[in-house]
């Protein structure tokens, strides 16, 4: 199966390098500037960043803000560009990275400065929860400032397509999801499950693993040397294969936004994507609980499959003083409460004002759930549980599977990746 999937990696890297050239990166020795690197551009991604830039410019009128973005959801293109820049000692003043294991490679390579003093000065050790601090501490030090908490395991669905297919409400287990998708396939013209380019399938995989294995077993997968060669994993991957058989033709050519918009437009029943989707839906003018609704991805109710966008201070950042001013804004209550309602995320700080999120029913419920101390699981695709090498091994295995449909080979490659992790 799956010959419709093809490798886009080489093309993506070429585009990414081109984008980097256009992004204005590089040192020019200019004193009054700060270059901040991210992949937040386009639908649902850039409004929050732009609002934060405006605040920065108000607070720092003499500093030119250079917005170095590289397009491509989940940083698939940006990370290649960033690696090339760090390797050639051309760091931006600050770059976006996921809190957790993803930053370890950069820390170990000596690319990042510790932010311990900054955390003390800004009171971040009390403003952030202990469990978040624990996740971002590496050998006793911290290296990035978390701006938000995103949720990966969200099932977005179209109430009207479900109604047409005779489905009462969102499926609560993976078996129910498959049943519901079958009803959509037979009873409507809609796509049962919209996905997009390859990384969105990696993203789907983490929700299916969590939904099939349960939180404890999912979390145990990320211990180095974990056993992925088990009957439970074989079953989870068989479910993954079933789920994928309900996706649309030509998905590999769609970015996450194109796949996600199929739900409020009534072209698809379901999409499993992170909660940055709600920012995009807002931009589209879609009406919550009418054009779209949401639930935990099937089998994961009660668990927050989390990730966090954070910003760093690279070694030899050309404009360190201004980079610290940027990080101060990222760390602040005002910065977080300005950015997050527009980004579809909740604040990393514990003291953020719930009122800022009350206009958006999704965000209101997400904040309440996060504050109710849910079970936690870390997103692997978005950098919480694994570093870049392990993540890339998983991505390569998934890409191969999408082209050759060999599920046993997928399981073996995932097991191998965990042994090398």
Residues that bind ligand GAL (CB under 6 A): 39-40, 45, 73-75, 98, 150, 274, 276, 307, 309, 382
- Angstrom distance (rounded) from CA 324 to CA 93: 9
Between 246 and 280, name the residue whose CB sits nearer to ligand GAL. Answer: 280
Between 203 and 319, name the residue whose CB sits nearer to ligand GAL. Answer: 203
Phi and psi at residue 65, to the nearest 5° = -95, 120
- List Cβ neighbours of 13 (8 Å cut-off, separation of 6 or more): 77, 80
The least distance separating ligand GAL from the CB of residue 384, rounded to whole angstroms, comes to: 10
Of 109, 105, 94, give the one whose Cα is nearest residue 144. 94
The least distance separating ligand GAL from the CB of residue 342, rounded to whole angstroms, comes to: 12
Between 194 and 233, name the residue whose CB sits nearer to ligand GAL. Answer: 194
The least distance separating ligand GAL from the CB of residue 248, rounded to whole angstroms, comes to: 20
**Strands 33-38 and 94-98, how do they pair?**
parallel
Between 39 and 362, name the residue whose CB sits nearer to ligand GAL. Answer: 39
The b-or-e profile of 83-112 (16+ CB within 10 A means b, else e) is eebbeeeebbbbbbbbbbbbbbbbbeeebb
Between 190 and 307, name the residue whose CB sits nearer to ligand GAL. Answer: 307
Between 73 and 298, name the residue whose CB sits nearer to ligand GAL. Answer: 73
- List Cβ neighbours of 89 (8 Å cut-off, separation of 6 or more): 316
Is residue 179 within 8 A of residue 296, CB to CB? The reply is no
The least distance separating ligand GAL from the CB of residue 48, rounded to whole angstroms, comes to: 9
Provide the 10 A C-beta neighbour count for residue 231: 7
Structure-token pair, residue 83 = 């690696």
The least distance separating ligand GAL from the CB of residue 305, rounded to whole angstroms, comes to: 12
The least distance separating ligand GAL from the CB of residue 10, rounded to whole angstroms, comes to: 21
């Amino acid at each position: 199966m799956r010959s419709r999937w093809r490798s886009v990696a080489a093309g993506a890297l070429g585009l990414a390098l081109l984008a980097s050239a256009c992004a204005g990166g590089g040192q020019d020795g200019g004193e009054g500037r700060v270059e901040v690197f991210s992949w937040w551009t386009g639908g649902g991604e850039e409004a929050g960043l732009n609002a934060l830039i405006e605040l920065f410019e108000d607070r720092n009128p003499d500093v030119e803000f250079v917005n170095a973005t590289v397009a491509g959801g989940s940083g698939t293109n940006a990370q290649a560009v960033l690696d090339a820049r760090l390797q050639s000692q051309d760091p931006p003043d600050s770059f976006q990275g996921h809190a957790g294991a993803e930053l370890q490679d950069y820390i170990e390579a000596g690319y990042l400065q510790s932010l311990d003093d900054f955390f003390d000065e800004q009171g971040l050790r009390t403003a952030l929860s202990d469990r978040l601090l624990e996740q971002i501490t590496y050998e006793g030090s911290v290296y990035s400032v978390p701006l938000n908490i995103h949720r990966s395991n969200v099932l977005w669905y179209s109430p009207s397509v479900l109604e047409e297919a005779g489905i009462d409400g969102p499926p609560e287990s993976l078996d129910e999801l498959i049943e519901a998708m079958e009803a959509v396939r037979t009873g409507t013209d809609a796509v049962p499950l919209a996905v997009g380019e390859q990384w969105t399938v990696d993203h789907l995989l983490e929700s299916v693993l969590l939904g099939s294995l349960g939180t404890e077993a999912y979390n145990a997968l990320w211990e180095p040397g974990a056993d992925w060669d088990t009957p439970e994993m074989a079953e989870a991957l068989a479910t993954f294969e079933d789920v994928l058989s309900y996706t649309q033709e030509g998905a590999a050519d769609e970015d996450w936004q194109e796949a996600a918009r199929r739900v409020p437009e009534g072209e698809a029943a379901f999409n499993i994507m992170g909660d940055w989707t709600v920012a995009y839906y807002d931009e589209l003018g879609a009406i919550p609980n009418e054009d779209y609704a949401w639930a935990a991805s099937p089998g994961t109710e009660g668990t927050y499959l989390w990730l966090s966008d954070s910003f760093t201070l690279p070694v030899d950042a050309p404009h360190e003083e201004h980079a610290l001013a940027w990080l101060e804004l990222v760390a602040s209550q005002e910065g977080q409460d300005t950015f997050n309602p527009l980004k579809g995320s909740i604040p990393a700080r514990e003291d953020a004002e719930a009122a800022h999120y009350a206009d958006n029913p999704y965000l209101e419920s997400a904040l309440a759930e996060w504050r109710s101390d849910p079970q936690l699981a870390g997103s692997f695709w978005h950098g919480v549980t694994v570093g870049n090498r392990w993540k890339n091994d998983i991505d390569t295995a998934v890409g191969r599977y999408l082209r050759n449909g060999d599920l046993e080979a997928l399981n073996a490659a995932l097991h191998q990746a965990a042994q090398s992790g």
